[in-house]
Amino acid sequence: MIVASHLTQQQAKVDPEEIFERHDHIGRGSFGEVYK
């Protein structure tokens, strides 16, 4: 993939916890799980 080859070393080492936040799991159904 062309876009992936343009990532810098610093971007590749970013912790996902700093970008995304965890959500509470509130249920599960036939179409998957639900988070809030």
* Domain range annotation of the chain: 2-35
State the distance between the two ends of the chain, measured CA to CA, in whole angstroms.
33
CB 36 within 8 A of CB 23: yes
Q: Residues 14-20: what's their mean pLDDT?
A: 85
Burial 1-36 (b: 16+ CB within 10 A, else e): eeeeeeeeeeeeeeeeeeeeeeeeeeeeeeeeeeee
Higher-pLDDT residue of 31 and 3 is 31
Q: What is the value of pTM for the model shown?
A: 0.37
Q: Residues 14-18: what's their mean pLDDT?
A: 85
pLDDT band of residue 11 (cuts 50, 70, 90) is: low
What residues contact 28, with CB distance under 8 A and at least 6 apart? Answer: 34
